[in-house]
Structure 1
Amino acid sequence: MELTGASAIVTGGASGIGAATARRLAKRGAKVVVADLKEDDGQALASEIGGAFVKVDVTSTEEIEAAIAKAVELGPLKALVNSAGIGWAQRTIGRDGEFSSAHDLDLYKKVISINLIGTFDAVRLAATAMSRNEPDENGGRGAIVNLASVAAFDGQIGQAAYSSSKGGVVGMTLPVARDLSAVGVRVNCIAPGLIDTPIYGTGPESEAFKAKLGESVLFPKRLGVPDELASMAEELVTNSYMNAEVIRVDGGIRMPPK
């Protein structure tokens, strides 16, 4: 799928995997809307790649619509990459047998709201805009890539909320791809493994911790880098025969219980 002259949206695009993806799509000729809550980083990246920044909380339908409106101003919306998300770790029950110490239900709902519902909201709205595009020679009008996690398959102790949300992203891939085939919009999903993003911090202790984590990867024994994920996102956007797939990009890791 050709991106030159088209627009793209990357949610969570101001840092990490999202930023790397925004850079790759811009190099392919897209005008990229960086949709994120981080205004300074988002504005800086948008200026760097010749795109635009829109402040977006993915739990707000109105803010997602604003990002889509900005993208359509720049060119026909051909690509959406959903990279926005949060993590949370808490065991399902506490140690004292009290209801009050069980997993915080509001935090569970928050993770689902951002990671799963926010992803689907962006998908349904962006796909609606894509359906208005003129089809290419393959009948294609756009492509969507959603970021899940290996936690969708190998959820660790304490990851009930996170794994539930990412499992939902995996689960929507095929039915949504089937829905959108009628208008020539492809849908794929990436399940990243352990990726070196700012969540791990910086400094010698952080580097030692990341090196220890890397030992659990099959090969290569290190954390992945954002551009390795962005490379797959670019392929899934531009390869017109990739559809309805969930691809692990994880160095072969299978996460242990803890």
Structure 2
Amino acid sequence: MKIEGMAALVTGGGSGLGAATARALAAGGAKVALLDRNVGAVEEIAAEIGGAAFFCDVASAESAEAAVQKAADAHGAARILINCAGVAPARKVLNKAGTMPLDEFRQAIEVNLIGTFNLLRLFAAAASQLDPLETGERGVAINTASVAAYDGQIGQTAYAASKGGVVGLTLPAAREFAQFGIRVVTIAPGIFETAMLKGLPEAAQESLGAAVPFPPRLGRPEEYARLALHIIANEMLNGETIRLDGALRMAPR
């Protein structure tokens, strides 16, 4: 699918992977709507790239429906969805304070997994009604998992479970949407330069990066964005989860 002139939705567009992908889409000529709970952040990015910004709690049906409708009113129904909104809780199931509160596990599932499904269902419903492009496509959705879905570390039970769910829904969703010409692909990043990691001391960042076989550094959001753009352009990529991790395999700790 060509990007130029297409309407795109980017969740978690106020920072990190989402912001980098929004910039890349806009540079390619897409009409980008950024959805995030942090309205100030997405408004800043939207002003920079000439896009539109809307509040969205991805775990809420009502909030997501309203945001997707506002984006459609601004740019038309989207043919591109990039799901980057997420949280990364870190807590052991059993710890000195007792057990992990159930609500903490529930929040990870609601934001990372239910939030991904929520936007995917709304995007597919609208895209399925569009006329097919010359390639036969009507849309492409890119979800964000994590290498933790495969080798989650101690303290990542909630995060790994939520991201494992994103991996698990990729193929059946792609099979279901094939009749409409809508592709579904997931990216599973390794350790990337996000706001959370940038807050760590420089020595800690270097230590994390050194664990990556090659290149021995943290991934850059722009590298995620480049892969997302390639997925959009390559119509044979469908129903797959792609690790973007420099051959990293996470240790238990």
Q: What is the TM-score normalised by the length of structure 2?
A: 0.96
- 1:69 equivalent in structure 2: 69
Q: How many Å separate the matches in 2 of 1:191 and 1:105? A: 26
One-letter code aligned to 1:168: G
Question: Residue 33 of structure 1 contacts residue 67 of structure 1 at CA under 8 Å; is this kept in 2?
Answer: no
Listed as ranges, the gaps of 5+ residues in structure 2 are: none
How far 1:7 sits from its partner (Å)? 0.8
> Which residue is equivalent to 1:190?
187
- What residue identity is the alignment partner of 1:33? A
Q: Which residue of 2 aligns with 1:208?
A: 203
The SS at the match of 1:77 is coil
- Residue 75 of structure 1: CA displacement? 2.8
Provide the rounded CA distance (Å) in 2 between the counterparts of 1:71 and 1:27: 19
- Are the aligned partners of 2:3 and 2:232 in contact in 1 as well (CA < 8 Å)? no
One of 225, 247, 251 as aligned partner of 1:252: 247
* Deviation digits for residues 215-234 of structure 1 (CA, Å, limit 9, x no counterpart): 11011110011000111111
Runs of 4+ aligned structure 1 residues displaced above 3 Å come to none
Greater shift, 217-226 or 192-201, is seen at 192-201
Counterpart pick for 1:160 among 157, 169, 181? 157
Contact preservation (8 Å) 2:7, 2:32: yes
Q: Which residue of 1 aligns with 2:107?
A: 110
Q: Spell out, residue by residue over 1:130-160, the C-alpha distance to the aligned partner (whole angstroms, 9 max, x if none).
A: 0111101121100000000000001000100
Structure 1 residue runs without a partner (length 5+): none
1:147 counterpart = 2:144:
yes
Q: Residues of 1 paired with 2:197 and 2:185: CA distance?
A: 27
Taking the aligned partners of 1:66 and 1:5, their CA distance within structure 2 comes to: 23
Residue pairs, 1:44-83, within 5 angstroms: 44-73=44-73, 74-83=75-84
Aligned partner letter, 1:214: G
What is the Cα deviation at residue 71 of structure 1?
A: 2.6
CA RMSD, aligned part only? 1.3
With structure 1 as the length reference, what TM-score do the two structures score? Answer: 0.94
Match of 1:38 in 2: 38
Whether contact under 8 Å (1:9, 1:67) holds in the other structure is no
For 2:216 and 2:2, how far apart are their aligned partners in 1? 35
Amino acid at match of 1:59: A
1:229 alignment partner, one of 220, 224, 231: 224
Q: Percent identity?
A: 48
Aligned to 2:18: 18
Q: Letter of the aligned partner of 2:42 in structure 1?
A: G
What is residue 4 of structure 2 aligned with on the other side?
4
1:40 Cα deviation from its structure 2 partner: 1.6
* C-alpha distance in structure 1 between counterparts of 2:6 and 2:191, whole Å: 32
Partner AA of 1:89 in structure 2: A
- Give the Å deviation of 1:106: 0.9
